[in-house]
Amino acid sequence: MITKDAGATRIGSFSGSSDAFAGFADARHWIGGSWHDPISSREVAEVLNPRFGRAIARVHHGGADDVEAAVQAATPAARSWGEWPVRERAQVLYRLRELMVARIDELSWLVSHENGKIFPEAKAEVEKAIECLEYGCSLPNLAAGNQLEVSRGVACEVVYEPLGVVAGVTPFNFPLMVPMWMLPQALVGGNAFILKPSERVPLSSLRLAEMLEEAGLPSGVFNVVQGGRPVVEALCDHPGIKAVGFVGSTAVAKQVYARSSSHGKRALCLGGAKNHLIVVPDADLELTAENVVASFTGCAGQRCMAASVLLAVGDVDHILEAIRARAAKIVVGKDLGPVTTAAARARIVGYIDGAERDGVKVSVDGRSASAEAGGFWVGPTILEGCEPSMKAACDEIFGPVLSVIRVPTLDRALEIENANPYGNASSVYTSSGDIARRVMERVDAGMCGVNIGVPVPREPFGFGGWNDSCFGHGNITGWDGYRFWTRQRKITSKWALQRDQTWMS
């Protein structure tokens, strides 16, 4: 039940257990182990459940003064947490994992209500968050530093040490999973963390804060500051924050990367995407149709890994027909959730209208789809006959829309894919090993799939794209994540007296 007592909010166990509208909360900051109102009074915005377009919470936006308060709380906490042995730090995550597993339905309903995605998709998100956490639990086994006798009697070893206070900024589309791309590595690495969740989905992070406290995380090691741009800019600027992880749109990722880097911080900023699927005539009909539709409609197309452009190579009419048929069967409200806001709906519909004006055929049209009144609905939409230069084929639409471009050859398909500035994901559908291999060697994207519509590298593989989909070096999850949130001390020791003199003596 979401409760509000004496000005403080506990998210507590979420009482919603169906799509029915439930609950109301105030989303404040969680700093140093307690709830805080913003120091200065600023915007208080409604958090809408996109299924109904009705408020389930109010979020109290913070600013630079709240970031300062969070850094003040996190700095001593980071010092003592960093002294805990890595195994003991990981034990807290083990306990968090047990809590999340026990409460998986409750957490999934919370995600579903604040984000809008349907319950099975919310549950898949929580399961993936748990998988990320499990990777974090395994870190003590992986993080044993290397040691080598580099010269007679001289040993070098590597020790992974915390950075101190670090920050993460996350988007609306995965309220629990994306924070969990960063937290396990950062916390096991011995840092204190300040999270700035999307102002559209502030509740899951607060529930996480409560559960981390229950799991035994010392106060001040995990903090949540609510708000928008002013909070993010203060996180980039604050000299007490050593690293910033960001996941969101490309325009903001670029800004956050530049601003954090200009202050000498580490930054890893994942941006938007325009993912291409290449379909060739020898592709398996059923597998391809099912996968393509799941990829562009899953989470209402609001995934950075979602299919957005289908490059139809040669005669694949039979596959396109099966894709249309499957997409048309999707029940909006049951199989497909709403998009995040009324503005997002208007943007997506604007792209469809624009493509139609340019002569594109809207062969499956989701513009008039609706489930509950007041919600932000767009049904599956397929745009056929797109040209590579059209807006619908170039921009990130971030809705359940597939733009189909017909091409005569695989080379032309690769040329179009490689000309787009993003580089998050790309897949090919084929039963030919040769074609699969050619695409995997030449496609300009960081996460690639063969007969997979959403080629997410599952743990322990690292998640991260290329080009305008990622600013900074490496992946945000997996081992790269641990390296990002830690620094390596190299220790060279000589204990034995030795006769041989080398340049190291």
| Residues within the interface to ligand NAD (CB under 6 A) | 169-173, 178, 196, 198-199, 228-229, 232, 247-249, 252, 255, 270-273, 304, 396, 398, 424, 465, 469
Which positions ≥6 away from 240 have C-beta within 8 Å?
Answer: 71, 74, 75, 164, 165
Q: Are strands 447-450 and 147-151 parallel, antiparallel or unpaired?
A: unpaired
Is the bond preceding residue 460 a cis peptide, omega within 30 degrees?
A: yes
List the structure tokens of 85. 């042995």
Rounded to an integer, what distance in angstroms lies between the CA atom of residue 2 and that of residue 14?
6
In the complex with ligand NAD, the residue whose CB is nearer, 190 or 248, is 248
In the complex with ligand NAD, the residue whose CB is nearer, 144 or 251, is 251
List the structure tokens of 504. 């190291």
Q: Which of 132, 304, 386, 448 is catalytic?
A: 304
Provide, rounded to whole angstroms, the least separation between the CB of residue 171 and ligand NAD: 3
Rounded to an integer, what distance in angstroms lies between the CA atom of residue 291 and that of residue 9?
42
Rounded to an integer, what distance in angstroms lies between the CA atom of residue 148 and that of residue 157?
7
Rounded to an integer, what distance in angstroms lies between the CA atom of residue 221 and that of residue 206?
14
In the complex with ligand NAD, the residue whose CB is nearer, 233 or 356, is 233
Backbone angles phi, psi at 496, to 5 degrees: -80, 140
Provide, rounded to whole angstroms, the least separation between the CB of residue 135 and ligand NAD: 16
Provide, rounded to whole angstroms, the least separation between the CB of residue 459 and ligand NAD: 15
Provide, rounded to whole angstroms, the least separation between the CB of residue 310 and ligand NAD: 18
Which positions ≥6 away from 148 have C-beta within 8 Å?
Answer: 155, 156, 157
Q: CA nearest 172: which of 406, 341, 400, 32? A: 341
Q: What angle do CA 242, 244, 247 make, to 5 degrees?
A: 170
Provide, rounded to whole angstroms, the least separation between the CB of residue 464 and ligand NAD: 7
In the complex with ligand NAD, the residue whose CB is nearer, 55 or 158, is 55
Q: Which residues of 120-151 are buried (b: 16+ CB within 10 A; e: fewer)?
A: ebbbbbbebbbbbbebbbebbeebeeeeeeeb
Provide, rounded to whole angstroms, the least separation between the CB of residue 84 and ligand NAD: 29
In the complex with ligand NAD, the residue whose CB is nearer, 465 or 481, is 465
Q: Confirm whether 448 is a catalytic residue.
A: no
List the structure tokens of 312. 């139809």
The answer to whether 278 and 428 have CB atoms below 8 angstroms apart is yes
In the complex with ligand NAD, the residue whose CB is nearer, 93 or 273, is 273
Rounded to an integer, what distance in angstroms lies between the CA atom of residue 274 and that of residue 247?
15
Rounded to an integer, what distance in angstroms lies between the CA atom of residue 189 and that of residue 167?
13
Provide, rounded to whole angstroms, the least separation between the CB of residue 351 and ligand NAD: 14
Provide, rounded to whole angstroms, the least separation between the CB of residue 75 and ligand NAD: 23
**Residue 493, H or E segment:** strand 486-494
The answer to whether 56 and 27 have CB atoms below 8 angstroms apart is no
Max CA distance (Å), the chain: 85
Q: Are strands 241-247 and 165-169 parallel, antiparallel or unpaired?
A: parallel
Residue nearest to ligand NAD as judged by C-beta position: 248
In the complex with ligand NAD, the residue whose CB is nearer, 169 or 313, is 169
In the complex with ligand NAD, the residue whose CB is nearer, 283 or 452, is 452
Just list the catalytic residues.
304
